[in-house]
Structure 1
Amino acid sequence: MVHGEVQMGDAPALASAQLSTADQDSFATEADVIVVGAGPGGSATAAFCAMRGLSVLLLEKSQFPREKVCGDGLTPRAVRMLTRLGIDSTETAGWARNKGLRVYGGRTEPFELPWPELADFPDYGLVCPRSRFDDVLAGHAMKLGVTLHTGVNVTEPITADDRIVGVRDNQGREFRAPIVVAADGNSTRLAVAMGRQRDEARPMGVAVRTYFESPRAQGEWMESWLELWDGRPGESNQLPGYGWAFPMADGTVNVGLGMLNSSSAFGHTDYRALMRTWLATTPPEWQFDEAHQRGEIRGAALPMAFNRKPAYADGLLLVGDSGGMVNPFNGEGISYAMEAGELAADAISEAHSRGVGTPGAERALHAYPTALSSRFGGYYRLGTIFVKLIGNPQIMHLCTTYGLPHRSLMKLVNKLLANLTDEHRGDAMDHLINTLSRLAPPA
């Protein structure tokens, strides 16, 4: 068993449990849609396309289960996407729920912020290691009819008349489809090969994490540190970044640290050393120490606020990290990748119904970036302003010192950072956040 793995019985299908059967089938190389990358965004895109009656090839360079650097936390926004996919996320199916955020900063005692009670979202979050979560999503896509090929390392697009018509892997194998989705992560070799370059002006983050055996694994809260210190809080040097500790269901805790490129320390910091410095200040009984560490400290980039555009052109759609879809407010990427996958599937299925290659089909595909901008563009623009502000430790200290003690203000901040509001039936806080998002120019 991979450390940190959640036991979920036989409820969600696992890709790794089905591959032995799938490998006996003929090695399919053509479909209506090719999706490159079987992370949450890629598997969700493939599943939603299959639900709309399309044949799908899902290509993944690794084997399942495989580990990914992540906080492993799923907010209510991500839980809603599991429901939309038809995946049972109840406790009886073996998922470990949490009730909200416990925030440290600005005072000695932490501040507890339950997930808001809304009509549009559930009032609970989940924690599940990516080694298990990605496996579950890919397996669910296979149950819906998606053909998954693992061990396929896509290296380049196949083009005709400047339009992508398939992909080629490092073994020279070719896979063809009239529409291709790049869900291959931040480095996105496929998108770069098709001329999509990263916008350096958009925010970027970096995160490092590991696991510890700890009594805090039994907690009901996802914990977050808005201030990190190299000694006693308020009496030592404040460190750049923010920290987290998310309790798993197996006796371990996912502990990590993130930093934004708006910080003056970004790019020339030893993040692993920074994390060890912070962990040395935590209470000994938490066991966030070398003796109880399970696995090395590993890091990953967090591409934010649509930092790679266009999300559609020349037959290629970008989903998830390949299109820089991480929320700049809180570093969450899973739910946004999955939501983008559903929007992409809507555009792809409409294009197929109109006849791929026709002007009408192209209009349908171009509706995808429009839908992304409509849903997240204004909110992400607000997030870019937020990133610039909290990159200054003095501003962060002022916010935590004078903001955290005010429950009403923190309820508003909690909704804003997690992007959890009711669209039509919300309270005054919901209306304020929704209005600001609508008025802000799209990112």
Structure 2
Amino acid sequence: MEHEVGHKAVPESPGVELASVLTARRGELSDSAFPTEADVIVVGAGPAGSSTAAFLAQRGLDVVLLEKSHFPREKVCGDGLTPRAVRMLTRLGINTSQQAGWQHNKGLRVYGSGAQGFELPWPQLADYPDYGLTCTRARLDDLLAGRAMALGAHLVTGATVSAPLLVGERIVGVRTADGHSVRAPIVVAADGNSARLAISMGRQRREDRPLGVAVRSYYTSPRHDDEWMESWLELWDGEPGRSHQLPGYGWVFPMGDGTCNVGLGMLNSSPAFGHTDYRGLMRRWLATTPGEWQFDEDHRTAPITGAALPMAFNRQPAYADGLLLVGDSGGAINPFNGEGISYAMECGELAADAIAEAHARGITTRASERALAGYPTALAARFGGYYRLGTIFVKLIGNPRIMHLCTTYGLPHRTLMVFVNKLLANLTDRHRGDAMDHVINGLSRVVPSV
């Protein structure tokens, strides 16, 4: 077990390149004792947990961040960050410039049934930047956890949470597998799609919410420095349009380090969900790509690994009995495009707002409970209607014939595709914007929240 006690650092201004966990430790006072109490415990130091801890520390709260692994560590992910995620990194004070070593991209290159890609630049908006990023989770998670430490969060690695500590039905702390306990009046579950802490508190998955699965690997490729992320809306096991169409969708994300992150996803609205060899499916798809791209076994640098994608807040309630769900543990993934990192970070900031307000009102009082109950209300207000639209979208594209019709007749119409790109990536100006923004925002408001 490692224990790191972070000092209360002065927040760095946006644009300053930040340290990893290792570098952050060099400037702190070490203490061999396991922390026994805090204002807030955050379980899981991925983007959801580290962002929550960072925002809480910014608000002056004493935070213990528990992570079962050690940094740096890898996670199954597409490694693609849309402008929504870039905005959240900026809000945490992280420099995302190319000079700081980030791989920028201009937008999305979409492939349908034809061989030619259709390029869709990220929209020009007031609320979001006009570029995306690619970054391995090993680097991103390390950076975010280091940021949380720099702001004053106490990171404990190698700490596997085994059970909640309860007083009646309310959580008041957690116990680790090696027998340590830490107490706090508020606990945040950010332990990913396993959602072990949420399940231990009785939060079961909603079967009426979409679920996806994704597999991915890395390949050395001359396309590693492409300026576009790619999305393949149709997968074929031979010549497009003249062979068997495979279920799911694919991606190619250039990492800028000599490799591409290549993967595919499938939704549970597809009849093939749960009955497919996903790794074999991915190999069959990649066998149809040009040989010079090098997406083959000779150039694969890592195993093909997979993970579940819980979507549209499929585990609820987001707050009850002292426990808040943030990120994948609460199913915060966007059902339109499978994006999870930006939503994990946004949920973390909303959770920090509610927790800070609760502490200001006097924790465990009725007034503080009303503040904590505002967290699921804030989630519904920001994402609820949009996610409900996404559940409808998921049901439609689960049928390959419908997907084929959409790509065949939709891709040639640029104005339509610009609209679709904004819709799927959830990139609109909230209070300003063009007619497309008003339509998407209006639909999200009138559709009942999830």
Alignment of 1:371-410 (within 5 A): 371-410=378-417
Q: Cα RMSD over matched residues?
A: 1.0
Quote the offset at 1:24 in angstroms: 2.9
1:13 aligned to 9, 13, 19, which one?
Answer: 19
- Cα distance per residue 1:363-386 (max 9 Å; x no partner): 000000000000000000000000
Query: Aligned AA for 1:54?
Result: L
| SS of the residue 2:289 aligns to | coil
| SS of the residue 2:223 aligns to | helix
Separation in 2 of the partners of 1:298 and 1:192? 24
Quote the offset at 1:22 in angstroms: 5.6
Query: Aligned AA for 2:181?
Result: E
Quote the offset at 1:406 in angstroms: 0.3
Whether the 8 Å contact between 1:244 and 1:255 is mirrored in structure 2 is yes
Query: Aligned AA for 2:441?
Result: N
Separation in 1 of the partners of 2:252 and 2:428? 25
Query: Aligned AA for 2:107?
Result: G
| Equivalent in the alignment of 2:354 | 347
Whether the 8 Å contact between 1:106 and 1:402 is mirrored in structure 2 is no
Quote the offset at 1:229 in angstroms: 0.1
| SS of the residue 2:60 aligns to | coil
Quote the offset at 1:20 in angstroms: 6.6
User: Is the counterpart of residue 217 in structure 1 residue 252 in structure 2?
Assistant: no
1:234 aligned to 216, 223, 241, which one?
Answer: 241
| Equivalent in the alignment of 2:10 | none
Separation in 2 of the partners of 1:198 and 1:222? 32
Quote the offset at 1:353 in angstroms: 0.3
| SS of the residue 1:118 aligns to | coil
| Equivalent in the alignment of 1:142 | 149
Query: Aligned AA for 1:300?
Result: A
Quote the offset at 1:182 in angstroms: 0.1
Quote the offset at 1:17 in angstroms: 3.2
| Equivalent in the alignment of 1:7 | none
Whether the 8 Å contact between 1:180 and 1:317 is mirrored in structure 2 is yes
Query: Aligned AA for 1:147?
Result: H
Unaligned runs of at least 5 residues, structure 2: 1-15
Separation in 1 of the partners of 2:29 and 2:57? 19
2:258 aligned to 251, 262, 265, which one?
Answer: 251
Quote the offset at 1:160 in angstroms: 0.5
2:278 aligned to 258, 271, 275, which one?
Answer: 271
User: Is the counterpart of residue 413 in structure 1 residue 420 in structure 2?
Assistant: yes
- Cα distance per residue 1:147-200 (max 9 Å; x no partner): 000000001100112110000010111011000000001111111111100001
Aligned residues between the structures: 434
| Equivalent in the alignment of 1:357 | 364
Query: Aligned AA for 1:217?
Result: H
2:437 aligned to 418, 427, 430, which one?
Answer: 430
Quote the offset at 1:33 in angstroms: 0.4
Separation in 2 of the partners of 1:204 and 1:109? 30
Separation in 2 of the partners of 1:186 and 1:37? 11
User: Is the counterpart of residue 117 in structure 1 residue 124 in structure 2?
Assistant: yes
Whether the 8 Å contact between 2:203 and 2:317 is mirrored in structure 1 is yes
Separation in 2 of the partners of 1:398 and 1:346? 44
Separation in 2 of the partners of 1:86 and 1:20? 20
Quote the offset at 1:23 in angstroms: 8.2
Alignment of 1:31-430 (within 5 A): 31-430=38-437
Separation in 1 of the partners of 2:289 and 2:62? 51
Separation in 1 of the partners of 2:417 and 2:267? 22
Quote the offset at 1:106 in angstroms: 3.2
Separation in 1 of the partners of 2:199 and 2:265? 26
Separation in 1 of the partners of 2:247 and 2:182? 45
Separation in 2 of the partners of 1:18 and 1:197? 37
Quote the offset at 1:425 in angstroms: 1.1
Quote the offset at 1:93 in angstroms: 1.2
- Cα distance per residue 1:261-293 (max 9 Å; x no partner): 000000010000000000100000000011110
| SS of the residue 2:383 aligns to | helix
| Equivalent in the alignment of 2:13 | none
- The farther-off stretch of 16-25 and 85-94 is 16-25
Separation in 1 of the partners of 2:353 and 2:30? 31
TM-score normalised according to structure 1 size: 0.97
| SS of the residue 1:24 aligns to | coil
Separation in 2 of the partners of 1:179 and 1:396? 44
| SS of the residue 1:215 aligns to | coil
| Equivalent in the alignment of 1:24 | 30
| SS of the residue 1:413 aligns to | helix
Counting aligned pairs with the same residue, the percent is 73
Quote the offset at 1:30 in angstroms: 1.2
Separation in 2 of the partners of 1:28 and 1:187? 25
